[in-house]
Amino acid sequence: MAFEFDVITLFPDMFDAITKHGVTGRAKENEFYGLYTWNPRDFTENVYRTVDDRPYGGGPGMVMLADPLEKAVTAAKLRQTASGVSEMKVIYLSPQGRLLDHELVKELGQLSGLVLISGRYEGVDDRLIKRQVDEEVSIGEYVLSGGELPAMVLIDSMVRQMPGVLGDPESANQDSFVNGLLDFPHYTRPKVYQGDIVPEVLMSGDPVRINRWRLQQALGRTWLRRPDLLALRIKRGMTAEENKLLEEFKKAYKANQNKMNQGKE
């Protein structure tokens, strides 16, 4: 049975961005997952089909009404159950949520379905969140115009982890962050681009040397750009080989810095 996503959104067409393009488009066609959208506007009772109102306590902007959202969530949960989903969570995408990382992507992948609420305006009536939401998830520390892009980010990150979605079964494991390191640099043709040549080792055809170089680059880049990630990785244990490669990278980097600084000071 496929993983089922149900999304509550005022802008269902936005989700064409993932369902009609690329890896996530193909995965949907091949029924690796199902995605169904619910518009709270379709669950309104009045002629204006109102989904928002002014905030109690005053202030700028509007707040999404609890009732149309709750009716949409109820319909979404019903569809999940009818599709055979047994383990489901309701997630509200918000800057107040738990930060999305590879750990959370794996955790949510253990479920069989998700109901995602994409808010608009200044937010959602808090009583809806208390009544219906199991977890709030944030994709980063910034405010957007709505939760649709975050919902798509979450779906994309989960779909590419589904077994069989990426052609090569190894692809998802090669991803950055899976081994707690940043990615190594990539090159393709031509061999020389604007005077810049591809590292010789990548053209050697020696898979042992190539893997060693890539691991060294990943370690070195993580050391340079994400010392916080490297510290975690060191705590979880580095092999003697990894330590040697990193020390070698540091030495080469520092030697290069000294060379660059010649003449200064």
Which residues lie near ligand 9WO (CB under 6 A)? 61, 93-95, 119, 122-123, 138-140, 143-144, 146-147, 150
**Residue where the block lists tokens 């055979």:** 84
Residue type at position 168: D
Helix (H, G, I), strand (E, B) or coil at 11: coil
**Beta-bridge mates of residue 111:** none
CB of 44 to ligand 9WO, least distance (A): 19
Catalytic residue among 55, 67, 79, 122: 122
Q: Which of the following is catalytic: 41, 79, 160, 226?
A: 160
Let me know if 175 is a catalytic residue: yes
Q: Cα–Cα distances in Å, from 118 out to 42, 44, 71, 124, 150?
A: 15, 17, 15, 9, 8
Question: Min. distance of Cβ 244 from ligand 9WO in angstroms?
Answer: 40
Compute the Cα dihedral for 138, 6, 155, 236 and give only its sign. Answer: positive
Q: How far is the CB of 169 from ligand 9WO (least distance, A)?
A: 31
CB of 225 to ligand 9WO, least distance (A): 22
Query: DSSP label at 174?
Result: H
4 assigned to active site = no
- Among residues 79, 95, 156, 183, which one is catalytic? 95
Q: Which of 111, 160, 174 is nearest to 137 (CA)?
A: 111
State yes or no: is 122 an active-site residue. yes
Residue closest to ligand 9WO, measured at CB? 119
212 as an active site residue: the answer is: no
List the catalytic residues: 95, 122, 160, 175
